[in-house]
Each structure stands twice: as structure tokens, then as C-alpha cells.
Structure 1
């Protein structure tokens, strides 16, 4: 099960890299195994920034990115993060399709 969640997480990162080419180099660097000492604190800071998204500089986008980074190193987060991302993408697609009808 853990290997399945790891592959699914890798596919989510690949999808993000395709959607946001400027972030491709940064994500490729952060996904390397030897960068754990940078990735974990950065993930924690992004999650905290997402929680305080009501402040002007911080945004809600920080929360899922931080959780994705933490899920690389914390296997117990992989399943819930994968599920949330896939579910969120499906809801977003459904919502956008329903808005096009008008």
C-alpha cells in the first residue's frame, strides 16, 4: 500500500510540474532524497502560512503545497494527501463544467 501511495504522490508532483513549468526546477530539486533537511522545515512553514491565509501576504495555496512536501517524508500523510488532491481536482473540474453552462 505504501508503494502505491508513493507512486500516486509522484504522479501528483508530475502533474503540478506540467501545469506550472516555472516551478518544475524547484520541485525537482525539492524531491531529491538528500534535500530532506530543507524540505521538512519548508513544508511546515508552508502549512503554517496556509493556516494564517487571512494575512495579506500568505495564501491558502500554501497549505496543500506544504502537505505535499511533508508527504514525501512522512508516509502516514501520503494516503490522505493523495485522496485530498484527487478529490479536490475532481470537484474543481465538476464545478468549472457547471459554470460553463451559463
Structure 2
């Protein structure tokens, strides 16, 4: 019998936990703060702004890396996005770990 599937919230929480573990301490604190209920009013505008930045990926300074950041911020408040975004971020983190391991050893 298959293991029970994680809910969208659980998947997103796991993605955030792994992301915080990979980030420097200062950035991890910022990510942790955005997950809190006090940051709710800031998440959606920041998420939309980050996705807008991703549209201009071809310009200097802004890049495509803003897309997952924006999706993460929006997914915290939009339940139907939690599972797909969580799985996407977990996939990106796995690719990042493999890339780091490849260049470290």
C-alpha cells in the first residue's frame, strides 16, 4: 500500500524548511519571518513584484531566479498553489544539492 500523500501545506513547509537550511543565517531569518502570520500583508505584494522582476530576466540585475521566490511567497496564502510550488521548490533544491556536490568533490 502506498504511503499517504502529503498535503499541500506539508509539502510547502518541507520546501521552506529545506530552503532555510541551505541559506545563510541572515537570509534564513528573513524567509522564516515571511512565513509568519505578521508578514501576511507583505507576502502577496512581494510575491507579485518578484514575479514581475522575473519577466524582465534579460535585463541586468534582475533575473529568472525571482520566479520561484515570487511563487513561494504567493503559495503561502493561496492553498491550491501550495503542493505544486512546494514540489517545484523541493525539485530545485535537490538539483542545487547535486550541483554543489558535483563541484565540491
Q: TM-score range by the shorter chain?
A: 0.7 to 0.9
Q: What TM-score do the two structures reach when normalised by structure 1?
A: 0.79
1:89 CA displacement: 4.3
Q: Does 1:26 align with 2:30?
A: yes
Per-residue CA deviation, residues 1-33 of structure 1 (Å, 9 max, x unaligned), is: xx7110111111111111012311101111111
Distance of 2:84 and 2:11 partners within structure 1 = 11
TM-score for both structures, normalised by structure 2: 0.77
Tell me which of the two structures has the higher relative contact order, counting C-alpha pairs closer than 8 angstroms and 6 or more residues apart: 2
Confirm whether residue 55 of structure 1 aligns to residue 59 of structure 2: yes
- Which 5+ residue runs of structure 2 have no aligned equivalent? 1-5
Say what the alpha-carbon RMSD is for the aligned residues. Answer: 2.4
Does the 8 A contact of 2:11 with 2:87 survive in 1? no
How many residues align? The count is: 97
Greater shift after overlay, 66-75 or 14-23? Answer: 14-23
Aligned mates of 2:63, 2:74 — CA distance in 1: 18
More helix by share: 1
